Copies of this chain bind each other. A is one copy, B any other.
Amino acid sequence: MNFCSECGEKVNREIPQGDNRLRDVCNNCHLIHYENPKVVTGCIPEWENKILLCKRAIEPRYGLWTLPAGFMENGESNREGAVRETVEEANAKLTNMTLFSVFSIAHINQIYTMYRGELVGGKASAGIESLEVALVEEKEIPWEEIAFKVIEENLKLYYQDKATGTFTTHYGELLKLDNERFEVNYF
């Protein structure tokens, strides 16, 4: 941030009075510009013994498989955001949604919330951000072609819970160790 979004003057990087962090501060209109983590919200759409995956038509991770998810918008609930993303990426309707996981990914300032939801009628097709969609059983999951670590973790947890017959809500933290490796801790 270089300029104050309210008055247009240059901002200063400084610690405001009573604070202990560097912020972008406008010394003209005295606004403090806070920056906060963003929420990504999505779903594991379920149909009979299968779940819905989407093949990405956009970067990053073009051509790899993911679950419907995207940045939550103002004015919608967390659950409604997951519904919207599933419409956009897979032309698919969801019902009976329950919160399945919350992941914190501090190095990219993101919270990832994922729901389980029933895919209405088992119907889906590729939206504009997907090359194709597929309803797959566990043995068909392309584990080596999953777009994001957080999605891989959700899929692992999903099949662990499914095996026990009891789904719970998980909280995990992803730490990036290097370009290839992550540490995952559950609390």
Contact A106:B76 (CB < 8 A) given known A3-B4, A6-B3: yes
Please indicate the chain B residues that have their CB under 8 angstroms from the CB of A7 in the complex. Answer: 2-3
Residues of A within 8 A of B (CB): 1-8, 10-11, 18, 21, 24, 33-39, 71-80, 97-99, 102, 104, 106, 109, 111, 113, 128, 168-169, 171, 173, 187
B3 touching A35, Cβ below 8 Å: no
Interface SS of chain A: helix, strand, loop or mixed?
Answer: loop
Please indicate the chain B residues that have their CB under 8 angstroms from the CB of A2 in the complex. Answer: 5-8
B4 touching A187, Cβ below 8 Å: no
A109 touching B74, Cβ below 8 Å: yes
A18 to chain B: closest CB distance in Å? 8
